[in-house]
Amino acid sequence: MKKNTETDILIIGAGPIGLFTVFEAGLLGLKCQIVDNLDKVGGQCSELYPDKPIYDIPGVPSQTADEHIKALLKQIEPFDYKIHLNQRVESIEQIDSKKDIKKWRVITSESKEFITTNIFIAAGGGSFEPRRPPGILNPDKWLNKGVAYSVTDKDYYRNKDLVIFGGGDSALDWTVELADITKSIKLIHRRDAFRGAPNTEAQMRELVESRNVDLKTPYVVESLKGTEKITGVAIKHFESKKIETIECNEILFLFGLNKKLGPIINWNLDLNGKKISVDTEKFQSSSEGIFAVGNISDYPGKLNLILCGFHETTLAVQHAYQRCFPDQRVPFTYTTQNRKLHEQLGINPEK
């Protein structure tokens, strides 16, 4: 007989919000299991922009996405959890339990079975893949040969002739971050209006004024140049249709992500587009015991920030505890007064 794993909370997604859920659950003595379809923890932070700096974590002026994930893993070391990678949740089924609270049977693509009181969907935007450049036949054949869809090692672009395509946060962020280490850098966008943070756009335009960045608008990619490796790219003026060729040895296509909900779409949850509708008291979905936190959740005033996801899962865990122990009051102490946590971390608060 196949053995299942029983847990208080099953977390779908090992990104920053999923990891922080372990911390909040651990403070209340709840056990967690995490399932993620990637081959490593960290979600989009690790997969798409590990070297990208994050500035809005309270008390941390600047931290790369990779450093942020490592810090979260360090933070949850004392608690009872296990991570299951390279698999995704395929099906969920509500089952009766000995108590009044119904539980869930969850089965993954690797045939692992979990029995859980609560499901936390912290899957970001669902499964995702980078958007490819339009009009280019099989651009993936140039991967690791001068074309990339994300930055995994900032230093890789040192002294390179780099061309970045895109008009969102990633394109602006990496233009600013890489301007001081590349040999040359060009930012190309189909219009002179950008979708990124105004402050980052202002920094980019200052670099254009100082000639550290060459901004070319309105242009779109026409074709890639090279045989064994990228040697250049042809771009077409969006209005005049004039073709211009740029010599380069590296190209970053930062057009954002195509997001897919995957099996989540079949779980009979109320959806708003590709997001799960939740209330703002429990951050619970339309199915009792299934919570959605982080970018996957939707409610009035929602902001897609890591900071907001931390708030959402902190409140959701309180209600998850009530489902596990309906006859008990949710214990609350400030972490500065949590003696058990101090012991687990080897902290002496008297010092």
pLDDT score of 336 more than 90: no
**Cα-to-chain-centroid distance, residue 321:** 26
Mean pLDDT for the stretch of residues 255-275: 83
Please name the CATH architecture into which domain 132-255 falls.
3-Layer(bba) Sandwich (3.50)
Contact yes or no for 177/55 (Cβ under 8 A): no
pLDDT digits (tens, 9 = 90+) for 224-242: 999 999 999 999 999 999 9
In this structure, which CATH number among 3.50.50.60, 3.10.350.10, 3.30.450.20, 3.30.420.40 belongs to the domain 5-128+258-345? Answer: 3.50.50.60
* Distance, CA of 19 to CA of 70 (rounded, Å): 10
286 or 169, which is more confident?
286
Query: E-assigned strands of 156-242?
Result: 161-165, 184-188, 214-216, 219-226, 230-237
pLDDT score of 349 more than 90: no
Q: Is 88 helix (H, G, I), strand (E, B) or coil?
A: coil
Among 37-51, 65-79, 186-200, 244-258, the least confident range: 37-51
Residue 1 confidence (pLDDT): 43
Q: Do you know the residue count of the chain?
A: 351
Among 12-16, 102-106, 247-251, 261-265, the least confident range: 261-265
φ, ψ at 306 (rounded to 5°): -55, -40
48 or 145, which is more confident?
145
Mean pLDDT for the stretch of residues 53-58: 90
Residue 335 confidence (pLDDT): 66
pLDDT digits (tens, 9 = 90+) for 300-320: 999 999 999 999 999 999 999
Mean pLDDT for the stretch of residues 197-220: 95
**Cα-to-chain-centroid distance, residue 224:** 30
Query: Please, which pLDDT band fits residue 344 given cuts at 50, 70 and 90?
Result: low
Q: Is 276 helix (H, G, I), strand (E, B) or coil?
A: strand
Query: Please, which pLDDT band fits residue 256 given cuts at 50, 70 and 90?
Result: confident
∠ CA 245-248-251, nearest 5°, is 100
Per the confidence metrics, is the pTM higher than 0.75?
no
Mean pLDDT for the stretch of residues 94-108: 84
Query: Please, which pLDDT band fits residue 128 given cuts at 50, 70 and 90?
Result: low
Residue 196 confidence (pLDDT): 85
Q: Where are the domains of the chain?
A: 5-128+258-345, 132-255
Cβ contacts of 342 within 8 Å, gap of 6 or more: 348, 349
pLDDT digits (tens, 9 = 90+) for 168-205: 988 999 999 999 999 999 999 999 999 988 999 999 99
